[in-house]
Amino acid sequence: MNIIELIIDENEEMSGIDAVSVVERPAIEEDFVALKDAKNQDHILLKKVDDEKRLLVGAGLIPDKPIFRRNGEQEFYIYFSKDTVRKASQLFFKKGNQNKATLEHQDKYLEGMTIVESWIVEDSKQDKSNFYGLNYPVGTWVIAMKVDNDEVWQKVKNDEIKGFSIEGYFADKLQRPQDKQKDKLKTQKVSDEFMIFDDRLAYSSKEKAEKIAMDLGCKGFHIHEDDDGNEWFMPCEQHSIENELLNRIKDVVKNA
């Protein structure tokens, strides 16, 4: 299965993150922590207050984390580098999009939703997100959203909203002639958890490979070895290589 790095196209005016959606099933598999009743959150407050803070804190984008996508019959993974995550977070505020939020990627901006704080994780062990019981890898874009929308906050309290999901326009780095990344991506270690073989994604654990196989409608896994002799587990019992090239991806990325 193909894995594609998405990047910011600096020549495209619309490139970047347009809005942040609050969703029940975030594609990056990371929930946020909801700072609700202050009486029950004294351990994370500078002072005790009576009113609800109505803050949602969590990851907007995690670098080098493959996200499964399906476009018609075509299935693939996308991911963002640390550099792209940083650029996207900065461009988001430069364009003044901090008040643009949606619910489950509906085509309507919500009232009373504002990103009031954000940062890039520079040190996982000493990052501010640890204060909220969160643990993200270096390069993660963490956001804090203030929720003054009563309907949305009720959904948070009902556990119907569990994470953030971005909406935006990105370019496919693999298909840009000036970047010449295709050969490099054929075999490349993305992180300690993911490895690319023949443009397909393999995992460091059998369990993860089997879980993805179920999502893809196949069973089991097969094994690949890297140059150091480490075993990586790829979904499905057989390995198949598609010859067709993916068209340039330049569409709204909705990580629902």
Give the integer Cα–Cα distance in Å for 65 and 167: 17
Quote the tokens at residue 196: 């690319």
Quick check: pTM over 0.85?
no
Task: Give the pLDDT score at 29.
Answer: 57
**Phi, psi of 155, deg, nearest 5:** -65, -35
In tens, the pLDDT along 133-170 reads 888 999 999 999 999 999 998 888 888 888 898 888 88
Task: Give the pLDDT score at 151.
Answer: 93
In tens, the pLDDT along 122-131 reads 999 999 988 8
Identity at 49, one-letter amino acid code: V
- Report the C-alpha dihedral over residues 14, 168, 136, 141, rounded to 10 degrees: 30
Element (H, E) at 237: none
Beta bridge partner(s), residue 101? 20
Quote the tokens at residue 221: 């896994």
Residues whose CB is less than 8 angstroms from the CB of residue 2 and which lie 6 or more positions away in sequence, other chains included: 76, 77, 199, 200, 242, 246
Mean pLDDT of the chain: 75
Give the integer Cα–Cα distance in Å for 59 and 54: 17
Contact assessment for residue 145 and residue 124, using Cβ atoms and an 8 Å cutoff:
no
Element (H, E) at 89: helix 82-94
Give the integer Cα–Cα distance in Å for 3 and 9: 18
Q: Is 222 helix (H, G, I), strand (E, B) or coil?
A: strand
Domain boundary assignment for the chain: 2-173, 182-241
Give the integer Cα–Cα distance in Å for 43 and 131: 9
Quote the tokens at residue 100: 């643009």
pLDDT of 103 > 50? The answer is yes
**Phi, psi of 37, deg, nearest 5:** -65, 120
Count of CB atoms situated within 10 Å of the CB of 82: 18
| Distances 185 to 68, 75, 182, 188, 235 between C-alpha atoms, Å | 17, 17, 5, 6, 18
Tokens 């993974």 -> residue = 77
* Model confidence band, residue 77 (pLDDT cutoffs 50, 70, 90): confident
In tens, the pLDDT along 22-75 reads 888 776 655 555 544 333 333 322 222 224 688 889 899 998 888 877 777 777
Give the integer Cα–Cα distance in Å for 163 and 26: 5
